[in-house]
Amino acid sequence: MPRGVFIVFEGLDRSGKTTQTEKLTDYLNSIGKKTILQRFPDRAEPVTGPAINNYLLNAKSIGEQKEGMHLLFAANRWFLAEGIEAALAAGTNVVADRYSFSGVSYSLSKGVPQAFAASPEIGLLRPDIVLFFDVDAATVAQRGGFGDEVMEKAEFQALVKQNMSQFADKDFWTPIDANKTIDEVHENVKIIAEKAIATASELPLRRFEP
Ligand code: NYM
């Protein structure tokens, strides 16, 4: 049996990832390709979820407890890692709404050093493909709901975008124009995801290295 394929969506807040991860997951299941959706942070994860949710909704400043919060976001991924690996091994595709690339980029934007930001990700599964939702900070700042959570500030999002660009030369990094309509973006996502599923399931899964 071929393994499942691990597809990650990344990008700024309000860039459309959540809508599109849901649409892709529904589509893949509708054509008989078993797929589960995993959001990060997973606020329902019992150990780290409540603390992360409390930070996002109630922190007085973005940088509050930045090192500790960084480790909590990473721990949230580690607590979900076994489940993701088991699903992939059983032939189920995993679509993730954010992953390590948000972990590194958001914390770097708060001033956490690069080595500290990257090291808790070492050993986690590397996705087969990352769909990077490319949109400007000024655009997301105008979208509905922006500003509800502590990190939703236009200047901070611009820094996150800059820090995320460090991944642009990775072979798995695939930009998607997120300025288009929901249906247009979904069509692009479908094409890229189906191609990844056709090719990646034959390749071994890899992990993040130091
Ligand atoms: N975020 C997300 C981080 O700061 N570090 C991480 O490791 C992850 C996965 O959480 N502003 C930030 C990005 C978002 C916030 O995410 C909540 P979402 O997708 O809005 O639930």
> What pLDDT digit, counting tens, does each position of 3-23 carry?
999 999 999 999 999 999 999
Using a 6 Å cutoff on CB, does residue 172 contact ligand 1? no
Region of residue 169 (phi > 0: left; psi between -120 and 50: alpha; otherwise: beta): alpha
For the chain, report the end-to-end CA distance as a whole number of angstroms. 31
Confidence class of residue 1 from pLDDT cuts 50, 70 and 90? confident
- Pocket mutation for ligand 1, best pick of 98, 109, 156, 163 (most atoms within 8 Å of C-beta): 98
Using a 6 Å cutoff on CB, does residue 13 contact ligand 1? yes
The answer to whether the CB of 161 falls within 8 A of the CB of 137 is yes
Phi, psi of 6 (to 5 degrees): -105, 110
Q: Which CATH code is given to the segment(s) 6-202?
A: 3.40.50.300
pLDDT one-digit tens code per residue, 112-142: 999 999 999 999 999 999 999 999 999 999 9
Model pLDDT, residue 24: 98
For the chain, how long is the longest CA-to-CA vector? 50
Q: What is the rounded average pLDDT of the residues 153-160?
A: 96
- The order of strands in the sheet holding 173-177 is 35-39, 93-97, 6-11, 129-134, 173-177
User: Coil, strand, or helix at residue 48?
Assistant: coil
Per DSSP bridges, beta strands 129-134 and 6-11 are: parallel
Model pLDDT, residue 176: 97
Using a 6 Å cutoff on CB, does residue 41 contact ligand 1? yes
CA–CA separation, 16 vs 97, rounded Å? 10
Phi, psi of 117 (to 5 degrees): -65, -40
Q: What is the pLDDT of the chain when averaged over all its residues?
A: 97
Q: What is the rounded average pLDDT of the residues 55-82?
A: 98
- Closest C-alpha residue for ligand 1 atom 7: 103
CA–CA separation, 16 vs 129, rounded Å? 17
Q: What is the rounded average pLDDT of the residues 155-173?
A: 97
Residue 88 has pLDDT above 90, yes or no: yes
Length of the chain: 210
Using a 6 Å cutoff on CB, does residue 55 contact ligand 1? no
CA–CA separation, 37 vs 52, rounded Å? 19
Does ipTM surpass 0.90 in this model? yes
Token pair 């480790």 is found at 71
